[in-house]
Amino acid sequence: MRTSERLRLWIAGARPRTLPAAIAPVLVGSSIHFQDKPTLNWHDLNWLNAILALLVSLALQIAVNYANDYSDGIKGTDAVRVGPLRLVGSGTFSAGAVKRAALLTFTFAATCGLILAARSSWWLILVGALSIIAAWGYTGGKSPYGYRGLGEISVFIFFGLVATNGSYFAQAQRINRASLLMGASMGFLSCALLAVNNLRDLPKDALVNKRTLAVRLGDAGARNLFAALLIFGVLFATIAIYPVRTWLAPLLALVGILLATPAIRRVRAGAHGADLIPVLGETGRLQLFVSLLSTVFFIFG
């Protein structure tokens, strides 16, 4: 296999469509710092801390994707899947190679996190350690919590509250109302990415006793959950923005709901299997839109 082809497969295995969940919370979390001082300008933003936070978030997202690929692959739950390439389940790469890729990416995330902690607060080391443990424990180990329907809770905490508030904390050394609300918004939208993945895999997961939240709720309940997550994601961002740009907050809500509608309509109409793959892109674009517009409002508010 040529080097370029191997690289393409590794990139596909990293599941690029999930990366907005890593970018969006860092973007909006860093931008909230502009609300701290009326005269804050671009030079006051700690760009190195923002870049380090982004690298940590991206590396953790990629690492957890590789770790899940490895763990599900050796358990045999990825043997027949629809959606993103499974490196181990498809036989593309060995389980050992994917595990090494996951550990290497975790190490990169930890290294960036240590530098960020040294520049801001050593408490971030504890946060980073818990994030890595949670990422590995999702499908790894003898009793993975992702197999017990707890994946969405972990995503809400670590790719929502922790990523957003951690990015803001790296700038301001504190958290505030806006960071908590935007953390919840990013958490709901990140959970929506996982929810649509689990909905797509629901029939196969049920067969191998992988009791995701979608399996526990059933098909109809999983579809309602996805719609609710998108709506709450837009709603919490609107509430966070309201004190900053009161007259523009309804615009965020209106455009956000309009962007969420195609994905909700497709899911509520009964799309399944490969038909749900476009919903991942729609959900990722919605999260990026909410984070970008919120960022603009925070910076110029």
User: How far apart are alpha carbons 131 and 155 in whole angstroms?
Assistant: 10
The pLDDT of residue 213 is above 70: yes
Structure confidence by residue, pLDDT tens digits, 126-169: 999 999 999 999 888 788 898 888 999 999 999 999 999 999 99
User: How far apart are alpha carbons 14 and 84 in whole angstroms?
Assistant: 9
CA angle 208, 210, 215 (to 5 degrees): 110
Structure confidence by residue, pLDDT tens digits, 239-253: 999 988 777 888 899
Kindly report whether the global pTM for this prediction surpasses the value 0.75: yes
Q: What is the dihedral of CA 230, 234, 236, 241, to 10 degrees?
A: 170
User: How far apart are alpha carbons 157 and 188 in whole angstroms?
Assistant: 10
- Picking from 223, 220, 232, the residue whose alpha carbon sits closest to that of residue 287 is 232
Alpha helices by DSSP H, 76-122: 95-119
CB 28 within 8 A of CB 252: no
- Picking from 45, 49, 88, the residue whose alpha carbon sits closest to that of residue 70 is 88
**How does residue 295 score in pLDDT terms, banded at 50, 70 and 90?**
very high
